[in-house]
Amino acid sequence: MNTDSPTPPSRRISVVRQKAKDEQRRWIVNAAEEVFSESGYHDASLTMIARRAEIAVGTIYLYFRDKSDLYGCVLLERMTQMVKAFESALTSSESAAECLRRGIHAQFAFHDANRTFFEIFLHQHQVQQSPLHKEHWEEMEALKLHNLGVIEDCILRGQSRVELKPGSPRLLAVAYLGITLQMTRQFIRENTDALLIDSADFAADCFLYGAASLPQ
> Are both 9-64 and 67-209 of the same fold?
no
Across the range 28-35, mean pLDDT stands at: 95
Report whether 75 contacts 124 (CB < 8 A): yes
Considering only CA atoms, which of 168, 174, 169 is closest in space to residue 153?
169
pTM of the model: 0.82
Coil/strand/helix, residue 26: helix
Task: Report the pLDDT value the prediction gives residue 15, as an integer from 0 to 100.
Answer: 76
Residue 215, pLDDT > 90, answer no
Reported as a pLDDT band with limits 50, 70 and 90, residue 102 is: very high
Q: Which of 107, 72, 84 is nearest to 204 (CA)?
A: 107
Return the exposure string of 13-39: e unless at least 16 CB atoms fall within 10 Å of the residue's CB, then b.
eeeeeeeeeeebbeebbebbbbbbbee
Each residue of 167-204: pLDDT tens digit? 999 999 999 999 999 999 898 888 888 999 999 999 99
Percent of the chain with pLDDT over 70: 89
Helix orientation angle between 9-43 and 46-53, rounded to the nearest 10 degrees:
130
Residue-level pLDDT at 5: 59
Q: Where are the domains of the chain?
A: 9-64, 67-209
pLDDT exceeds cutoff 90 at 63 = yes
CATH topology of domain 9-64: Arc Repressor Mutant, subunit A (1.10.10)
Whether the per-residue pLDDT at 3 is higher than 60: the answer is: no
Please tell me the CATH code under which domain 67-209 is placed: 1.10.357.10
pLDDT digits (tens, 9 = 90+) for 104-141: 999 999 999 998 888 887 776 555 567 889 999 999 99
Q: What is the pLDDT of residue 1?
A: 47
pLDDT of 2 over the 70 cut: no
User: Which H/E stretch holds residue 169?
Assistant: helix 169-190
Question: Quick one: pLDDT at residue 214?
Answer: 58
pLDDT in tens, 143-171: 999 999 999 999 999 999 999 999 999 99
